[in-house]
Amino acid sequence: MTTLDPSARQRPLGVAVIGYAFMGKAHSNAWRNVGAFFGVPAFERKVLVGRDAELVAEAAARYGWAESATDWRSVIGREDIDIIDICAPGWMHAEIAVAALAAGKHVLVEKPLANTLAEAEAMVAAAVAARARGVQSMIGFNYRRVPALALARELIDEGRLGTVRHIRAAYLQDWLSDAQSPMTWRLRKDTAGSGALGDIASHAIDQVLYLLGDTVTEVSGRLHTFVTTRPGPDGPEEVTVDDAAWATLTLASGAIASVEASRVATGQKNSLTLEIYGDKGTILFDLEALNELGFLDATVPVREQGFRRILVNETDHPYMNAWWPQGHVIGWEHTFTHQIRDFLHAVQSGEAPSPSFEEGLAVQKVLAAVEESANNKSTLTVVNTAPASEGA
């Protein structure tokens, strides 16, 4: 069982990452770098876990892990492991997270929280029980750790936009635009849960909740699959998730958000755009220019109004004092480093980190409502969603 009192700890925290592909690589990079740039509790990169013994061993050596393993259950049971970082596909999240929390391990899990609402609710119940014993948990919505978006949250909290009226959020990619792109686990409902909806619309929805500190009360959604079969190892295989998703969200504050996500938006590589419109100002953001924030102050005389570009890399901007001199930009991978930094600080302090599993469940409820609305061609009321709390 993990020693939960930081003052009683006689050794560094032992970390295990489960999953070594795309997200496992991104998280491994963050674990490798966080201690070099931020003051964080001492930890050791103990083990990288994956199903293929040879490939995970190669990845562990390349990413700087002390060892590799193929059985996540045995890793969770080890006395020298204190933190489990789950980068496995969504269908594995609930089983691993619940088991790790029960074993007294602090848990970080990639978004979305789970593949189903029932799984997400089970994870929250496990997190609440573990939190009472001093065991922390967090979901990895890493875009909360983009300095420009953390700054946007500060500006909104300070009232610089006044009353926010509506938001446009679009997350567009094109990696599935080619109909001959092969079948993957991300295109099967039993492994992925959903397509663009859970994969990238979850990020857009979380940003709406995070930036406004708001909750969703009503949802209208639509899903569409443009390419219904993909080349599989044994011939054409049916795609059982969406290629694109659209949603209109009514928020408790009275604001309205439109959300769009697509993995077949030809020419768009990784474009998360956000437009936040208030009665006193507007904020614009594009992930493909993640060091920049567009800001319009509508309180100045009309003759002086216009969007100005804020280059978010001054030392007093969120997270930036750990990196380079002003004018030297950072990249997408830094968001994971910031995420690990915040998670480690929460483990050290004993304060629950954000976004919590409850916040992940709030997003999951919206995703489920979008899917149900799309299937039934109806508008749904969403209840019991948790407000997004401060992430930086």
Percent of the chain with pLDDT over 70: 95
Q: How many whole angstroms separate alpha carbon 375 and alpha carbon 370?
A: 9
Q: Give the other-Cβ count within 10 Å of 352's Cβ.
A: 15
Which has the closest alpha carbon to 165: 272, 271, 280, 87? 280
Ranges assigned E (strand) in 111-148: 137-140
Residues in the chain: 392
Residues 6+ apart with CB under 8 A from 256: 165, 166, 167, 248, 249, 250
End-to-end CA distance of the chain: 30
pTM for the complete prediction? 0.94
Residue type, 163: T
pLDDT digits (tens, 9 = 90+) for 176-216: 999 999 999 999 999 999 999 999 999 999 999 999 999 99
Task: State pLDDT tens for residues 315-370.
Answer: 999 999 999 999 999 999 999 999 999 999 999 999 999 999 999 999 999 999 99
Task: List domains and CATH numbers for the chain.
Answer: 6-135 (3.40.50.720), 146-326+356-381 (3.30.360.10)
Q: What is the DSSP string of 54-75?
A: HHHHHHHHHHT-SEEES-HHHH
Strand locations in 4-42, DSSP E? 13-18
Give the pLDDT score at 5: 55
Nearest to 44 by CA among 100, 83, 4, 96: 83
Rounded to whole angstroms, the Cα distance separating 74 from 49 reads 10
Residue (of 252, 276, 259) closest to 162 by Cα position: 276
d(CA 168, CA 145): 20
At residue 56 the predicted structure's pLDDT band, cuts being 50, 70 and 90, is very high
pLDDT band at residue 293 using 50, 70 and 90 as cut-offs:
very high
How far apart CA 149 and CA 40 sit, in angstroms, is 23
**pLDDT interval class at 384 (50, 70, 90):** low
**Exposure class string for 122-155: b at 16+ Cβ within 10 A, else e:** bbbebbeebbeeebbbbbbbbbbbbbbbbbbbeb
The answer to whether the beta carbons of residues 114 and 123 sit under 8 Å apart is yes
For residue range 302-316, list pLDDT tens digits in order: 999 999 999 999 999
SS3 state of residue 252: coil
Q: Take residue 138 and report the two structure tokens written for it.
A: 């967090």
For residue 166, pLDDT over 80 is answered with: yes
pLDDT band at 10 (very low <50, low <70, confident <90, very high): confident
- What span, in angstroms and rounded, lies between the C-alpha atoms of 185 and 182? 10
Query: What is the structure's pLDDT at 318?
Result: 97
Round to whole Å and give the CA distance between 25 and 92.
18
Cβ-based neighbour number of residue 362 at 10 Å: 25
